Structure 1
Amino acid sequence: MNVEWWRIVIAVCLVFLSGLFAGLTLGLMSLDLVDLQLAQESEDEEEAKCAKRIYPVRKKGNLLLCTLLIGNTAVNSGLSILWADIVGGILGFVVSTLAILVLGEIIPQSVCHRYGLKVGYYTVPIVRIFILLFFPLSYPTSRILDWFLGREPLHRYSKRQLKSLVKMHGPNLEDTTDGSVPGLSPEETELLGSALEFAQKKVEEIMTPLEKVFMLDENSHLNFKTLTLIFQSGHSRIPVYSGTKDNIIGILFTKDLVLIDPDDDITLKTVLSFFHREIQFVFHETTLDVMLKEFKSGRGHLAVVYKVNNEGPTDPFYQNIGIVTLEDVIEEIIGSEIVDETDVYPNNATEEKVWRKRKIDMEVLKMFDSGAHLEDRLSHNEVLVVASYLCHNISAFSSSIISYDILRHMLESCQVVEFHEDTKEFREMSPSNNVAHLVFKRGVPAVEAILIIYGKLKITAGSEGFISEVGPWTLLGIRALLDEIYAPDFTAEILEYPLRVIKIHRRWYRQALKRSSESLKEVTTDHSL
């Protein structure tokens, strides 16, 4: 059987074109428009270049589809006819079928499905040529499809689907065998997931209940004690109530207190009436996205949460139930708690408190209390009495060790502390002292000796817990002045209020010893001369 060679060449070209149309139909049409848009912003320059070249062609989805299908149908029909002329009969049918199936469908579609971007990048010019060639037939057909089906919609993901995508790209990502697509870190996964969910949450879920809020009564006097409580709370905005805590009438900004003199003892109500800070109220079912917009509007970063109270026989009424801050909303967005140095609770769902040792000692703060300066040192007459007592009754202060004048100067520098009846404020702000005031604690190092002026202490000593009482003119912890490291073997707690004591620090005592020794040497030198 004589077969013209040109028929073979045409048949081979048709097989190639059949594979091209079939592969591009699957490869290009499987590329989602959203994926192509994302690929254009890829960090992989090669991927971004391919996506930018393919996107204008792929965007006209129905026109591209009609062009490829028309070309594929025409080529396959021509190939079947040509193989029938070359081989004929059943053999031609079998050969054409196998050629179209294997060379024109299976192989090219497998390649284009795996390497769709790269194949599409290099074949876009060829596709544009075929679009022009088949335009008279493909364009009307694509317009009919557009009219019936509409243009190809962009694939949109719901928030739940987006969160699933985030999880899929998280730490459990297993499909990146070549390492080309690094997964998200656990922190990034949590942050993105929380950001997608926060708009569905309500302020009631994240608010701080009123019973956990640091608040002040409008009739409070802004004296040193109140300002100290404000300082210890660590808050920049403090709700102010009248009568009961659910009756919030104002917000105090701590910066409003910059020019306040504690000695003026003015009331908090006066400060509120001067600044007129706006109170922002929000319903408990408000979603966090709405709350965030309110905070961004500049009205404030703290809002009072209220709800309708239908309980009881009375008519329904609005009731304040908590507060919500910008920090609370941000914590929900990032998916973790921001526990700063002033937070009392790590989150609003737990009763466990976060207590830290503040870097500023409360004894240092008392230096700013003008009232305290009048009472935290001994008067001149008291200095004389105490110096005489120590000099004649305590060997460590005898005139042979410390001169009387230097002892008086030392006592003038020593701090005097007066303890009054334990208060609720003291217990709330000092949880470690949620018992009677402790002057000494067994096993805790001390650097000061204590001389009682008036009041009584209960002493619990030794492992047997022997209990005794001591009163005025008792000196405790003398070893703290003599030893480099001293930890008392007893606990001293206040038994009788008020208690007034003198604190003699080891540093002052050592300096007094040194000065006395130097004075004695000077006197000895003078006599020798």
Structure 2
Amino acid sequence: MLEIYVKHNMLDADETDIMKGAMHFKTKPVSSVMTPIESVYTLPGSTKLNLATIREIYHRGFSRIPVWGNHINDIVGIIFVKDLIFADPTEETTLLHFVHVFGRGVHRVWPDSTLGDVLQAFKMGRTHLALVHDVNNAGPGDPYYQTKGVVTLEDIVEEILQAEIFDESDAIDAETHRKNRLSNRSYDTGVSHVLEGSESAKFLAKPEVVRVALDATRVAAILAKSHIVEFDGNNVEGPPPKLFIHGNVATFCLVVLHGHVLVSSSTSGNAVPTTAGLWSVFGANSLIAPDGSFESDVTVHVPNDVHVRCLRIPRLEFQATLYPMHIAENPAVLAERRLDLQQLVAPTAISVVIDDIPTPTTANFQSDMDATQVAYELCVKSESM
């Protein structure tokens, strides 16, 4: 029946897939969509919640983590990462005690349970994750429950929509399969400094919070003046492009939106670089430092065979949005801003930080969207490099 509607252009392909998924998902077994337990990040109940453990859990980027007792088949509970705010790292409480205090139980289902039944259980139990277990009769010993995997509400929704769902914590890649997505999580780097034991946090007073906070209008204005730049390691000959160079002046901030970059803090080049992925931020202090005074303390470059997309926020546009009157009253700043705008049109190389990468010359992306749409540019390496 659906094919008839599609043949007469009364339904498109996406609508047809959703309707098919909604009709058939209720009879599908859990085993067809679950994530195997081998691919699930779990922790033993004897783990102590010290600073290093909390930092590791946070950097993993998951919202719920199964906790097991004597072995992986003995899942005793689930911790919600948001509950770790109540954990005192100096007390080094065990995960088992933490689970017992907060009472996060585990909803268990069988591999042959249908997705319709599991969805109903999720709605009634107000949970988004269930443990899949089965009876193991193999061997001479007594039968026992064996943990097979986990199934989430997102898995069921994807079966209904017949498409994968990518949220803000997923590494967006068309070739990434759902079963491997558990290893592609990221985390918010904005609060990482709180988890560093060597750094102390200074709390702001309420007037200071009001002063430094940006409302949605200003954030939209800053994004509208920023640009999306792309670097394709597959199409670059010679050394990989460097986005930041250690010791060089930087006048912009970069936010990684897709792919990953390599970061090195040594000028000798012998140090092993670290990988920075989705939502990594570089040069943030350049937006608030006096012009020309911020020097990058790291070298950031694009690895070979990697496509990287970044949000580039110019310091001048950031300052102009925050302090429009100050910018307007300063002729030197106005002249610098005009020159910066001209460089976006004329093919002039960036000589401050990115010496080997020409300024993007592709015209701003035009569409029928509103004026707050972020300008889009493609940064490609010249043939002379």
TM-score normalised by length of structure 1: 0.38
Match of 1:281 among 108, 111, 114: 108
Q: 1:107 matched to which residue of 2?
A: none
Aligned equivalent of 1:166: 2
In the TM superposition, residue 249 of structure 1 has moved relative to its aligned partner by 0.8
CA separation of 1:314 and 1:508: change in aligned 2, threshold 3 A: farther
- Please point out which of 368, 384, 393 is paired with 2:194: 368
Measured at CA, do residues 365 and 373 of structure 1 come closer, stay the same or move farther in structure 2, by a change above 3 Å? same
Partner SS state of residue 295, structure 1: helix
Query: 3-state SS of the aligned residue for 2:125?
Result: coil
Equivalent residue, structure 2, for 1:265: 92
The corresponding residue for 2:271 is 493
Equivalent runs, 1:77-226 vs 2, <5 Å: 165-170=1-6, 172-173=7-8, 183-226=10-53
Q: Once the two structures are superposed, what CA deviation does each residue of 1:472-504 show, in whole Å capped at 9, x if it has no partner?
A: xxxxxxxx247999x999632259xxxxxxxxx
The equivalent residue for 1:306 is 133
> How far apart are 1:290 and its partner, in Å?
1.1
- How far the C-alpha of 1:209 sits from its partner, in A, is 0.6
Report the alpha carbon displacement of residue 228 of structure 1 after superposing the two structures with TM.
2.5
Compared CA separation, residues 300 and 194, structure 1 to 2 (3 A): same
Query: Is 1:444 the equivalent of 2:222?
Result: no
Distance in 1 (alpha carbons) for counterparts of 2:40 and 2:136? 20
Gap change, CA 1:283 and 1:338, over 3 Å in 2? same
Distance in 2 of aligned mates of 1:322 and 1:249: 14
How far does residue 285 in structure 1 lie from its aligned partner after superposition?
A: 0.6
Q: Output the CA distance in 1 between the equivalents of 2:47 and 2:105.
A: 20
Once residues 216 and 329 of structure 1 are traced to their aligned partners in structure 2, the CA distance between those partners, rounded to angstroms, is 25
Post-superposition CA distance 1:285-338 (Å, at most 9, x none)? 111111111111125221110112233343332201101111111111121111
For the residues of structure 2 that align with 1:367 and 1:352, how far apart are their CA atoms?
26
Task: Provide the secondary structure at the position in 2 that maps to 1:257.
Answer: helix
Task: State which structure, 1 or 2, has the greater radius of gyration over its C-alpha atoms.
Answer: 1
Partner deviation per Cα, 1:430-465 (whole Å, 9 max, x = no partner):
xxxxxxxxxxx97534443xxxxxxxxxxxxxxxxx
Gaps of 5+ in 1: 1-164, 174-181, 375-440, 449-479, 496-504, 514-529
Answer yes or no: is the 8 Å Cα contact 1:280–1:299 preserved in 2: no
**How far did residue 187 of structure 1 move?**
1.0
Partners of 1:483 and 1:369 lie apart in 2 by 27
Contact 2:39/2:182, CA 8 A, preserved across alignment: no
The whole-number CA distance in structure 1 between the counterparts of 2:62 and 2:294 is: 43
SS of residue in 1 equivalent to 2:86: coil
Whole-angstrom CA distance in 2 between matches of 1:268 and 1:231: 15
For 1:334 and 1:273, locate their aligned partners in 2 and report how far apart those are by CA, in whole Å: 37
Distance 1:512 1:233 in 2: 31
Report 1:340-355 matches (<5 A). 340-343=167-170, 346-349=176-179, 351=180, 355=184
Deviation at 1:219, TM superposition (A): 1.8
User: What is the deviation of 1:342?
Assistant: 2.6
Q: Distance in 2 between matches of 1:356 and 1:272?
A: 23
Partner of 2:165: 338
Kindly indicate whether the alpha-carbon contact (under 8 Å) linking 2:55 and 2:195 is maintained by their aligned counterparts in 1: no
Change (3 A) 1:169 1:446: same
1:310-329 alignment, distance < 5 Å: 310-329=137-156
The superposition leaves residues 72-112 of structure 1 with CA deviations (integer Å, 9 ceiling, x where unpaired) of xxxxxxxxxxxxxxxxxxxxxxxxxxxxxxxxxxxxxxxxx
Q: CA deviation at 1:223?
A: 2.6
Give 3-state SS (helix, strand or coil) of 1:297's partner.
Answer: helix
| Deviation of 1:205 (Å) | 0.7
CA contact (8 A) 1:339 1:346 kept: no
The DSSP-based 3-state class of the residue aligned with 1:372 is coil
Q: Name the residue aligned to 1:237.
A: 64
Q: Is the 8 A contact 1:346 1:353 kept in 2?
A: no
CA distance in 2, matches of 1:298, 1:189: 31
Q: Once the two structures are aligned, what percentage of the paired residues are identical?
A: 32
Alpha-carbon distance between aligned partners in 1 of 2:50 and 2:78, rounded to the nearest angstrom: 18
Inter-partner Cα distance in structure 2 for 1:356 and 1:267:
25
Between the aligned partners of 2:294 and 2:176, the Cα distance in structure 1 is 48
Q: CA deviation at 1:348?
A: 4.2
Tell me how far apart the structure 1 counterparts of residues 63 and 186 of structure 2 sit (CA, whole Å). 20
Give the Cα separation in 1 of the matches to 2:130 and 2:182: 23
Deviation at 1:367, TM superposition (A): 2.4
**Structure-2 change in CA distance of 1:343 and 1:247 (3 Å):** farther
More helix per residue: 1
Gaps of 5+ in 2: 201-238, 253-263, 274-284, 296-385
Alignment root-mean-square deviation, CA: 3.7
- TM-score normalised according to structure 2 size: 0.51
Give the number of equivalent residue pairs.
229
CA distance in 2, matches of 1:236, 1:304: 15
C-alpha separation in 1, matches of 2:240 and 2:44: 39
Give distance in 2, aligned partners of 1:250 and 1:357.
24
Q: Which amino acid aligns with 1:444?
A: K
CA 1:446 to 1:203, structure 2 compared with 1: closer, same or farther past 3 Å?
same
Contact kept, 8 Å, 1:202 with 1:288, in 2: the verdict is yes
Look up the SS of the partner of 1:492 in the other structure.
coil
